[in-house]
Amino acid sequence: MTAPIAEPDRADRRGLRIAFIGSMCLLDDASGIAHSIRSILEALARRGANATSLTASLFDANAEVVLEDRIGGEGQQVETGRDGIVRVSRSGVRHHILRTASSRKGRLTRPESDRMHLACQAFLAAKRPSIVITFGSGSHARRLHDAIRSSGAQLVFYLGNAEIPGSEWFQPGDRAICPSRFLSEHYSARLGAPVDVLYPIVSADRFVGDDPAAVRRRPDQQEPGFITHLNPVPHKGLTLLIEIARRAARERPGMKFLVLEGLITRELLRQASVDLTSFPNIQLLPVQRDMAAVYAKTAVLLMPSFWREGFGRAAVEAHLSGVPVLASRHGGLPEALGGAGSLLDIPETCVDEPLTFPDEPTVSRWWEALVTLWDDPVAYAVASERARQAGRRYLPDRTAAAICRHFEGMAALRES
């Protein structure tokens, strides 16, 4: 088997050299972790770093994804080499994607794993990154981790959720970052090492901003905004969404819901006997790249998550757009809301079994919080301003500067 050959690196080697290496493609718009890591690399590239990635063509989706549908576009250069690696330049970052037979995570074959390992060794030799970000804990991922450590690069784990099992993937000398204090506390004790908190960069094109002419229509205006929910999987609060929509159809027929597919499509929902398109007040759309346009049409964002969200980047995007958020009170969501929005409880039965429908008192509490914003223009205006003010701590210039300082400091420490 011939190792894929990475193109020679002609970048100025005096600057920071940073890479991401892992199975999951960073150009996956449906993956919050991919978006966060891609934003880190792009922020460092803007500061002059040589930022690259090496991944397989795996996506966090429940159906096959055509790679060509996710790459390319205006301002992007796409090349396919004889080594089977697709190279894409986007926002100053050079992405190297090893094409695989399936695009679905967990379906990497043993020969493909071997090819990925060889590609990793060739990539490390050509690019010589001083810092490599990664995630994953399986046997395939650990082979890549060993190759990265052997190259002399600093291995940095990105811990984006609270569901990563064990700690054997972490070794002395490794470092870890995460997007919330909640996750930092969760993993620091387990790993026996500090886990640094770096709030994610919310790209400026993913929120509305302060321009009054661009702000979405409010419920007190002639054309109300949507009640928006993202990624209608069971553990994101699907059954609570359904109960709220049912109640709205009875009591507030003018209230309309916008639901964006994520890890699950309408076809998969139907297979699970859930047909959101049958609801007269729900509009179901596929994943949207233009999230600012979504928030421009949103009155309230619903985040009734039944699991421990690592952070809640969508809540920040909504707040920066002046959109109040109703979210569950656990995981990293309270931190993301930053004292604005509304935090509400959910029953443990829904946490243990996400397809369980919440009890009536729970539904009523969420419904009353939503109706207060919908019916009272003054309450809505106050909530909208609080949301915008809370979101300011996560403005992209601030979070990007903190991330760049962190990695530039790490690189300087290794060189000293």
3 state DSSP class of 59: strand
pLDDT-derived band at 277, boundaries 50, 70, 90: confident
Q: Is residue 11 over pLDDT 50?
A: no
Q: What is the mean pLDDT of residues 326-347?
A: 95
Q: Is residue 5 exposed (0-12), middle (13-18) or buried (19+ Cβ within 10 Å)?
A: middle
- The pLDDT tens digits for 63-85 are 788 888 777 665 556 677 677 89
**DSSP output for 125-164:** HHH--SEEEE---SHHHHHHHHHHHHHTPEEEEE--SS--
- By residue count, the chain amounts to 416
pLDDT-derived band at 214, boundaries 50, 70, 90: very low
Q: What is the mean pLDDT of residues 269-287?
A: 82
- The pLDDT tens digits for 93-121 are 999 999 999 999 888 999 999 999 999 99
Report pLDDT for 73: 60
- The pLDDT tens digits for 158-178 are 999 999 988 999 999 999 999
Q: Is residue 275 over pLDDT 60?
A: yes
Q: Is residue 126 over pLDDT 50?
A: yes
d(CA 133, CA 259): 32
Higher pLDDT, 311 or 213: 311
Report pLDDT for 276: 86
Please give the helix or strand (H or E) that residue 20 lies within, else none. strand 17-21
Looking at CATH, the fold of the domain delimited by 17-201+396-415 is given as: Rossmann fold (3.40.50)
20-24, 134-138, 285-289: the lowest-pLDDT one: 285-289
| Token pair listed for 93 | 């970052």
Other Cβ atoms within 10 Å of 278 Cβ, number: 8
Percent of the chain beyond pLDDT 90?
Answer: 73
Report pLDDT for 215: 45
| Mean per-residue pLDDT over the chain, rounded | 89
Report pLDDT for 105: 86
Is the Cβ–Cβ distance between 285 and 258 less than 8 Å? yes
Q: What is the mean pLDDT of residues 311-324?
A: 95
**DSSP output for 195-237:** -EE-PPP--GGGS--S-GGGSPPPTTSSSPPEEEEE---GGGT
Measure Cα distances from 178 to 37, 188, 311, 398 in Å: 11, 11, 9, 17
Amino acid at 157: F
Contacts for 116 with CB less than 8 Å, ≥ 6 apart: 23, 56, 98, 108, 140, 144
Report pLDDT for 263: 67
Measure Cα distances from 409 to 64, 136, 176, 404 in Å: 40, 25, 14, 8
Higher pLDDT, 195 or 355: 195
Range list for CATH 3.40.50.2000 in the chain: 17-201+396-415, 204-394
Residue in 16, 19, 82, 9 with CA at minimum distance from that of residue 54: 19
DSSP β-bridge partners for residue 86: 80, 97
pLDDT-derived band at 61, boundaries 50, 70, 90: confident
Report pLDDT for 289: 81
114-128, 218-232, 326-340: the lowest-pLDDT one: 218-232
Amino acid at 180: S
Give buried/exposed letters for 341-363 (b at 16+ CB in 10 A, else e). Answer: bbbbebeeebbeebebebeeebb
- The pLDDT tens digits for 181-209 are 999 999 998 999 999 999 999 989 899 97
Residue in 408, 407, 398 with CA at minimum distance from that of residue 204: 398
Instruction: Identify the CATH class of 204-394.
Output: alpha beta
| Token pair listed for 108 | 């990497």
Report pLDDT for 264: 66
Antiparallel, parallel or unpaired: β 93-98 and 50-56:
parallel
